[in-house]
Amino acid sequence: MEKNQVYNRELKEALVNAAIGVLMDNELITKEDFRGLGVGMGYLFSTEEDQIEGLFQVSFSGKTYFFAAQKGKLMMVNISQEQYEQTVEYMKSYHPCIMSEELPETELQKNRREKNNRIVSGKGIAIEDRAMTRWEDERITVRDTLSVCKRMMACFYVTQIACDIANGNYQEGLDFFAPKLESNGLMDCLNSKEKRIVDGTYSMQDAIDMDWAYEDFWALCWCLGFVEDISDAGNVCDCDKAIKLMQSCDSVQKLVEKSKPRSKAEILDMLDLYYRYHWAINEAKVHPETPLGDLDHSTVLERRRGLEWIVSDVEDWYDLTLPA
């Protein structure tokens, strides 16, 4: 029996990650393009033989590439936008399962989806009413407080150095913050961009990305109870408050002692909310008329990155792919 899989987020993310791999292998995309990546899923279903059939598009920087999944294989297809839309409509006519309303979700997932859709809609932001949450609490492990505090402190110090790059004071910033990284044993905790900032091999894009990493840091602050709410993704973080916090916690141990970690359920609720914000932003890349309220793209992307890192086993959060 054919089954609609368009709500299967794990499957969709696997396909999108594979498509990104194809684009990267063919040098059609770089990691820097991930910030502006948009994905549109035309259809996705499993056949009676349990084979996956699908058609979707990946867009960035004004370019669109089309991918088809057939008989266990993923391939890039050379079609126009009009041909893509015609194919989707044709498949809907001949495969009724594509229009199926069935959502294979638990009661917990349903409640999370419905609650966050109400929040998103209330902010004047477009929703995909039936976009499922993929996070089932019992399957998720949240990182321990010490690991999050170390990541949070490393991110903050290197972000300050990146800000000094923009101000033409790189060496001054490095001389001040590198010893703090050393004394707190954080040099081994740096991710790829942070390492390049610290060792001087950075690009200007690295510096720009690390400036925006303030928002990843802010998401971690919320997870540890230092920030009351981050559900407003239209404003950037409070940098003055962030600086005062880190001035009052000059060691990882002090940060751990002052933290009040949020529950796994709270973190997954917020992560799901940011997934929905991200979906709306990506939808607007394909359909510019999509209402976005006051969402800020970079704020949404970076805070989601920080939240995703909290529940992932990926050490470098720049290695995370964030399809929506």
Least confident of 37-41, 105-109, 164-168, 235-239: 37-41
**pLDDT for residue 135:** 67
DSSP 137-202: GGG--PPPHHHHHHHHHHHHHHHHHHHHHHTT-HHHHHHHHHHHHHHTT-GGG--HHHHHHHHT--
- Asked if 155 contacts 213 with a C-beta cutoff of 8 angstroms, the reply is yes
DSSP 225: T
**pLDDT for residue 103:** 66
DSSP 320: -
DSSP 132: P
β-bridge mates for residue 302, sequence order: none
In angstroms, the CA 231 to CA 303 distance is 10
Average model confidence (pLDDT) for the chain?
Answer: 90
Question: φ and ψ at 72, to 5 degrees?
Answer: 80, 5
**pLDDT for residue 101:** 63
pLDDT, tens digit (0-9, with 9 covering 90-100), for 27-81: 888 777 766 677 788 889 888 888 899 999 888 777 889 999 988 789 999 999 8
Least confident of 6-10, 90-94, 207-211, 244-248: 6-10
**pLDDT for residue 106:** 82
DSSP 275-291: HHHHHHHHHHHHSTT--
In angstroms, the CA 36 to CA 59 distance is 8
In angstroms, the CA 297 to CA 159 distance is 19
Alpha-carbon distance values, 100 to 57, 81, 184 (Å): 21, 24, 54
pLDDT, tens digit (0-9, with 9 covering 90-100), for 146-203: 999 999 999 999 999 999 998 899 999 999 999 999 999 999 999 999 999 999 999 9
Predicted TM-score of the model (pTM): 0.78
**pLDDT for residue 94:** 83
- Asked if 270 contacts 277 with a C-beta cutoff of 8 angstroms, the reply is no
